[in-house]
């Protein structure tokens, strides 16, 4: 199922002449799966639930990437009309990016410093000044301004075990007061340490993402005698239990004062990129699915998240595919109850950050599309991920497809090496896209110019 759609120059005008429509390679079914060798800017893929490979179809491989410094001749690849340049360098451990109402760029540097850095952009898209907003917050990760809107009073930060908040007003580059504990009971341990934070558009509820305490719940204490009762509020359908896994693999909600903890959704192995879709208020997560089942299973995903929704972990994945590894026995009662996520992604690509294009710079029909950063694989024979992809949306709903957008960080000198591991994406007020790389501590900026596409087509035409 590999179709090559080539649009002629005249057809191009009809589809508004975006770079995306010049030459589009489309892969579905089995051909949608693969490693970085098959990646190319513009390539569109669609993976469907029926395509999911059986566990063990290939052995579970271990191939950890080795981070090398950015080579002098490094070339990032993207689609025609786009330019990728350095926005900021020297930001060790750069992770989550959020933009303040005044345009200042907040970046968490989770390790080793546990800080949040503020970068003030200049008119020409460079960094005019830089300050440390706060430091010493262990594994500082998620950042959210509160209340939502033009005049936030606090910056909330998700960190190890906690959500804290610091006083803030527009223009502050350093916190004017100490961190105040808001939530102090977030579970820690087990590798899934990122704690993302976001607010409902009305500011009444705070979402906090807490990943699972393990790959596949190899150890859960004895199951609750009455599962039906267990799954009532404050838990929900498919909630895990025990010292290690209760309140994990969840999106939780609290009131902004840190009270009224509830499970909003369960079975999401590690929700990162927790994002509220502008306009609809729908919550979205990007998720790394479970390890050790082989190269092409199970798909990672991006999905809208329903209140009370169950997304499968640990007993099921991508709908009704059963996993027999969790401790404490099967859950036939949950079969068929796990929601199939909206967009399935190549297994092991490790999607993390996610943001929606507000428009203003990128091609007009890309407005509302999601851009996802993939940190890249270790549990796959050949590397996959290590790129930024675009998820097309129509009427605020994902089409299920995704497109290679920015790539080229893999194998600069040897298959095992990489020089970039994208973590988060975020749009600036001018519609350009920032993305972070925690491998070499860089924030990149992606800009777009129609003139550049036209120029590229001109020279292309002359060559023909």
Residue 222 has which token pair?
A: 């004895």
Least distance from ligand HEC to the Cβ atom of residue 193, Å: 13
Closest by CA position to 169, among listed 149, 183, 141, 184? 149
Least distance from other proteins to the Cβ atom of residue 67, Å: 8
Residue 383 has which token pair?
A: 């590397």
> Of the two residues 189 and 329, which places its CB atom closer to other proteins in the complex?
189
Least distance from other proteins to the Cβ atom of residue 414, Å: 9
> Of the two residues 230 and 378, which places its CB atom closer to other proteins in the complex?
378
- Give which of ligand HEC, other proteins, none residue 33 binds (C-beta under 5 to 8 Å, depending on kind): none
- Give which of ligand HEC, other proteins, none residue 60 binds (C-beta under 5 to 8 Å, depending on kind): other proteins
Helices (H), 107-170: none
Could you give the C-alpha distances from 309 to 196, 251, 263, 348, in angstroms and in order? Answer: 19, 10, 10, 23
Closest by CA position to 51, among listed 438, 370, 340? 340
Interaction between residue 62 and ligand HEC (CB under 6 A)? yes
Task: State the first-to-last Cα distance of the chain, in angstroms, to the nearest integer.
Answer: 30
> Of the two residues 258 and 294, which places its CB atom closer to other proteins in the complex?
294
> Of the two residues 190 and 278, which places its CB atom closer to other proteins in the complex?
190
Least distance from other proteins to the Cβ atom of residue 194, Å: 10
Residue 358 has which token pair?
A: 């507000």
The closest residue (CB) to ligand HEC is 62
Q: CA-to-CA distance for 405 and 38, rounded, in angstroms?
A: 13
> Of the two residues 62 and 330, which places its CB atom closer to ligand HEC in the complex?
62
Q: CA-to-CA distance for 301 and 345, rounded, in angstroms?
A: 5
Q: Which of 37, 64, 126, 335 binds ligand HEC (CB under 6 A)?
A: 64
Q: CA-to-CA distance for 263 and 253, rounded, in angstroms?
A: 6
Interaction between residue 230 and ligand HEC (CB under 6 A)? no
Q: CA-to-CA distance for 310 and 338, rounded, in angstroms?
A: 5
Q: CA-to-CA distance for 273 and 251, rounded, in angstroms?
A: 11
DSSP annotation of 47: B
Interaction between residue 66 and ligand HEC (CB under 6 A)? no
- Give which of ligand HEC, other proteins, none residue 213 binds (C-beta under 5 to 8 Å, depending on kind): other proteins
Question: Is residue 25 classed as helix, strand or coil in its secondary structure?
Answer: strand
> Of the two residues 230 and 378, which places its CB atom closer to ligand HEC in the complex?
378
Greatest C-alpha distance within the chain = 74
Closest by CA position to 105, among listed 353, 386, 436? 436
- Give which of ligand HEC, other proteins, none residue 190 binds (C-beta under 5 to 8 Å, depending on kind): other proteins
Least distance from other proteins to the Cβ atom of residue 378, Å: 5
Residue 20 has which token pair?
A: 């995306």
Q: CA-to-CA distance for 302 and 310, rounded, in angstroms?
A: 14
Closest by CA position to 334, among listed 348, 323, 346, 345? 323
> Of the two residues 23 and 188, which places its CB atom closer to ligand HEC in the complex?
188
Least distance from other proteins to the Cβ atom of residue 39, Å: 23
Closest by CA position to 299, among listed 316, 317, 322? 317
3-state helix, strand, coil in the chain (%, to 5): 10, 35, 55
Least distance from other proteins to the Cβ atom of residue 190, Å: 4
Least distance from other proteins to the Cβ atom of residue 326, Å: 11
Q: CA-to-CA distance for 353 and 351, rounded, in angstroms?
A: 7
Least distance from other proteins to the Cβ atom of residue 450, Å: 41
Question: Is residue 127 classed as helix, strand or coil in its secondary structure?
Answer: strand
Least distance from other proteins to the Cβ atom of residue 299, Å: 17
- Give which of other proteins, ligand HEC, none residue 368 binds (C-beta under 5 to 8 Å, depending on kind): none
- Give which of other proteins, ligand HEC, none residue 291 binds (C-beta under 5 to 8 Å, depending on kind): other proteins
Q: How many C-beta atoms surround the C-beta of residue 89 within 10 A?
A: 14
> Of the two residues 61 and 320, which places its CB atom closer to ligand HEC in the complex?
61
Interaction between residue 112 and ligand HEC (CB under 6 A)? no
Number of residues that bind ligand HEC (CB under 6 A): 3
Binding site for other proteins (CB under 8 A): 60-64, 66, 111-113, 138-139, 188-193, 213-216, 218-219, 244, 291-292, 378-379, 416
Residue listed under structure tokens 């294009």? 357
> Of the two residues 53 and 292, which places its CB atom closer to other proteins in the complex?
292
What part of residues 343-382 is at the interface with ligand HEC (CB under 6 A)? 378
What part of residues 378-437 is at the interface with ligand HEC (CB under 6 A)? 378
The residues of the shown chain that bind ligand HEC, judged by CB under 6 A, are 62, 64, 378
């Amino acid at each position: 199922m590999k179709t090559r759609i080539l649009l002629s120059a005249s057809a191009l005008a009809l589809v508004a002449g975006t770079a995306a429509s010049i030459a589009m390679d489309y892969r579905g079914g089995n051909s949608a799966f693969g490693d970085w060798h098959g990646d190319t800017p513009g390539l569109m893929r669609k993976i469907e639930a029926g395509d999911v490979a059986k566990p063990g179809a290939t052995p579970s491989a271990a191939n950890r990437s080795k981070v090398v410094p950015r080579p002098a001749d490094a070339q990032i690849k993207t689609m025609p009309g786009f330019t990728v340049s350095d926005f900021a360098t020297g930001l060790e451990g750069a992770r989550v990016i959020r933009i303040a109402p005044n345009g200042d760029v907040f970046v968490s540097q989770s390790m080793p410093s546990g800080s949040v850095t503020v970068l003030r952009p200049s008119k020409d898209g460079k960094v005019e000044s830089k300050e440390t907003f706060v430091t010493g917050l262990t594994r500082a990760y998620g950042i959210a301004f509160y209340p939502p809107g033009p005049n936030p009073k606090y910056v909330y930060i998700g960190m190890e075990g906690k959500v804290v908040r610091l006083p803030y007003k527009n223009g502050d580059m350093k916190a004017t007061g100490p961190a105040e504990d808001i939530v102090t009971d977030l579970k820690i341990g087990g590798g899934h340490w990122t704690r993302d934070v976001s607010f409902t558009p009305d500011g009444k509820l705070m979402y906090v993402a807490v990943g699972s305490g393990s790959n596949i719940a190899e150890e859960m204490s004895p199951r609750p005698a009455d599962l039906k009762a267990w799954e009532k509020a404050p838990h929900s359908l498919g909630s895990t239990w025990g010292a290690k896994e209760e309140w994990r693999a969840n999106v939780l909600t609290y009131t902004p004062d840190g009270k009224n903890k509830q499970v909003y959704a369960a079975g999401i192995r590690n929700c990162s990129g927790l994002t509220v879709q502008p306009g609809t208020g729908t919550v979205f997560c990007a998720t790394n699915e479970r390890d050790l089942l082989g190269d092409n299973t199970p798909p990672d995903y991006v999905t809208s998240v329903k209140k009370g929704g169950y997304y499968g972990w640990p007993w099921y994945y991508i709908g009704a595919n059963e996993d027999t590894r969790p401790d404490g026995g099967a859950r036939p009662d949950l079969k068929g109850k796990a929601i199939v996520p909206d967009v399935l992604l190549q297994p092991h690509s490790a999607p993390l950050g996610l943001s929606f294009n507000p428009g203003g710079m990128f091609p007009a029909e890309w407005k509302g599309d999601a851009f996802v950063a993939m940190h890249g694989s270790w549990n796959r024979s050949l590397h996959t991920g290590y790129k930024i992809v675009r998820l097309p949306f129509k009427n605020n709903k994902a089409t299920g497809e995704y497109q290679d957008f920015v790539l080229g960080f893999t194998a600069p000198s040897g298959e095992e090496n990489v020089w970039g591991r994208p973590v988060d994406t975020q749009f600036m007020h001018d519609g350009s896209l920032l993305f972070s790389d925690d491998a070499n501590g860089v924030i990149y900026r992606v800009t777009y110019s129609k003139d550049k596409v036209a120029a590229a087509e001109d020279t292309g035409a002359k060559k023909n």
